[in-house]
Amino acid sequence: MTEDTLAEPAAAGPVETVVETVTTARGPTMIFEKDVPVPVGDGLVLRANVFRPDREGRFPVVMAHGLYGKDVHFADGFAPQWERLNTLHPDLFTTGTSGRFLRWETVDPEVWVPDGFVVIQVDSRGSGKSPGYLDPRSPREIQDYHDAIEWAGTQPWSNGKVGLIGISYYAFTQWAVAALQPRHLAAIVPWEGFLDYYRDAYRHGGIFSNGFTTAWWPRQVLVNQHGNGETRYRDRDTGRPNTGPALPAAMLEGNRTDYVGEFLRHPLRDAWYRERAPDPARITVPLLSAGNWGGPGLHLRGNIDGFLGAASAQKWLSVHDGTHFESFYLPDYVALQKRFFDRFLKGERNGFDDEPRVRLSIRSPHGAVRRDEHEFPLARTRWTRMHLDAASRALTPEPPSVESAVSYDAQGDGVDFSTAPFETETEITGFVSARLWVASSTTDMDMFAVLRAFAPDGSEVVFDGAHEKTPPSRGWLRASHRRLDPARSRPWRPVHAHEAIEPLTPGEPVAVDVEIWPTSLVLPKGYRLVLTLMGRDFEYPGVPGRMRHDHPQDRGGPEFAGTCTILTGGARDSALLLPVIPPR
């Protein structure tokens, strides 16, 4: 289809359900019901695609509910990711599937239905073929998800058990709807998706994370808004827009929230954020939570917190490496997902209960290996302090006896603190934090803490992250948000309250605790660990960061353009706390 063709909105008639029998690449046929009506509690009707086995019986349901378009092919909506994934794994979508029904961040029906699952993909309110007010991840959208689960659990082809699975958006909404405890919800698989709306995704350490947000809203959401007749997306089955009948521009604008504006209007973790943050203690169904070490800023913290906080008696944590869109589709991980659902949706006694509760990819400069564990953080962790010395720019096992300070331009390259070369191979896996004494020439100070590693020849250890090249880990804190939540904080895991803004007095030192996101890294003998402290986003040359924090309304004031100072030694002992793991 040419660009000229895409520029002309195609006509779209009333939405009607279409039924087709499809022969899958594996041989068995499946029933494909397109645009099935799904009623929700306030009378609105959402639209879903339903894929089910072409045989008699009642089957468990595997569901995703979101706004990326149930009729938008992966390759059409996310072409760069599609090309990268096919480059990394050229046989991934040519074995056992025709690829016709592949959608971004959701399961492939052709891979799942032959194994006795019903796959349902729902356009959330205000997106795709589903009318209504577009307000991503809002309480109303999550209630719709609840209602869709209950609908699916009572259909004649359903065994009454619904499982949820999907990446990112489709993961956060799982956490949220599971906390509502729908009666027919039986298990969830949130894959690389945040939990805490404020801390995990949009206000890292109190700093607005706009780089992803401001691009995501028009590029991935508005393009798929229900009634958008100018969408570039076309349903490959019909050639029509995937967004239903076109609506006037003024109506489209009135049918959606001011997404970016809402974040700017809510700098603190107020009621608006709290009603969008699920309480994991209300989650009781079996869960398999999968995070990505290379996902600081969106796709790691929530998976760990969800696992730790859920009240589920049967819960597992898997943390992998690689790209954001890679692991979910790899055969070994798909087999894991199916075994989990076979156990908790079909009731098969397949030994999944005996699976290790924690499975981690242990990264090194030379690759990663999978390792089974029993808990997180690891019980055998040796919490190890490395003290900052401003005079020598070193990280040392013993605190410096002499007080010193180092200053840097808030908009400059910051300052590095380095360990000596490690004398033996050293593993660091788990939570990381830094207790720092800081001062600013202004009334505030944004801290960007970057955990880095270097080989003996000076080359830097860089990992393939969820979306881009990435260092071992990162952390963020706005100094005026330094007050902790004492009930949730631990020495290795500071949790900030974000309930008040407490300006700094220029030139006056204060102690702050910086949360650096969990990591896993094996440093060979001779390698060094470096803590880089900056007043702006860390980026590799030629690799613009995706999770940026540079919105002018949030960081454009003079308070973020002054001189920052790190104080060390004596009564102002600044230190990095590391989770060192001894060999078994």
CATH code for position 415: 2.60.120.260
Residue 328 lies in a domain: yes
User: What is the secondary structure of 530-566 as a DSSP string?
Assistant: EEEEESS---BTTB--SS----HHHH-SGGGSSEEEE
Residue 542 lies in a domain: yes
Beta bridge partners of 364: 367
The answer to whether 52 touches 113, Cβ cutoff 8 Å, is: yes
CA distance 515 to 475: 6
- Average pLDDT for 282-306: 95
At 444 the pLDDT is: 98
Same domain, 349 and 489: no
Q: What is the CATH number of the domain that holds 308?
A: 3.40.50.1820
323 pLDDT more than 90: no
Same domain, 523 and 476: yes
Same domain, 394 and 280: no
Same domain, 255 and 108: yes
Q: How many domains does the chain have?
A: 2
Given 305, 339, 355, the domain boundary residue is 355
Given 355, 372, 404, the domain boundary residue is 355
Q: Coil, strand or helix: which one is 115?
A: helix
Residues ≥6 apart with Cβ < 8 Å to 134: 67, 125, 126, 127, 221, 225, 226, 255, 256, 257
Q: Length of the chain, please?
A: 584
Same domain, 291 and 392: no
Q: Which amino acid is at 538?
A: F
Half-sphere exposure at residue 267, Cβ-oriented, CA atoms within 13 angstroms: 11
**Burial class, 70, CB count within 10 angstroms (exposed 0-12 / middle 13-18 / buried 19+):** buried
Residue 367 lies in a domain: no
Residue 372 lies in a domain: no
- CA dist list (Å): 359 to 107, 471, 545: 22, 22, 29
- Enclosing H/E stretch for 340: helix 331-344
Same domain, 415 and 339: no
- What does the pLDDT look like over 489-499, one tens digit per residue? 999 999 999 99
Q: What angle do CA 328, 329, 335 make, to 5 degrees?
A: 85
In angstroms, how far is CA 514 from the centroid of its own chain?
20
Q: Which range is least confidently modeled, 91-95, 136-140, 568-572?
A: 91-95
The answer to whether 244 touches 128, Cβ cutoff 8 Å, is: yes
Same domain, 304 and 268: yes
Same domain, 344 and 404: no
CA distance 176 to 169: 11
Same domain, 162 and 257: yes
Longest dimension (CA), the chain: 78
Residue 230 lies in a domain: yes
Residues ≥6 apart with Cβ < 8 Å to 179: 278, 279, 280, 282, 283
CA distance 417 to 396: 9
Same domain, 429 and 349: no
Half-sphere exposure at residue 284, Cβ-oriented, CA atoms within 13 angstroms: 6
Average pLDDT, the chain: 95
Residue 202 lies in a domain: yes
User: What is the secondary structure of 259-318 as a DSSP string?
Assistant: HHHHHHH--S--HHHHTTS--GGG--S-EEEEEETT-TTTSSHHHHHHHHH---SSEEEE
389 pLDDT more than 50: yes
Structural domain boundaries enclosing 391:
382-581
At 5 the pLDDT is: 29
Residue 44 lies in a domain: yes
- What does the pLDDT look like over 452-480, one tens digit per residue? 999 999 999 999 888 888 999 999 999 99
Given 355, 372, 398, the domain boundary residue is 355
Strand positions, DSSP E, 84-228: 118-123, 158-167, 185-191, 203-204, 207-208
Same domain, 335 and 392: no
Residue 223 lies in a domain: yes
In angstroms, how far is CA 330 from the centroid of its own chain?
18
Statement: the pTM of the whole predicted model exceeds 0.85:
yes
Same domain, 329 and 396: no
- What does the pLDDT look like over 356-379, one tens digit per residue? 999 999 999 999 999 999 999 999
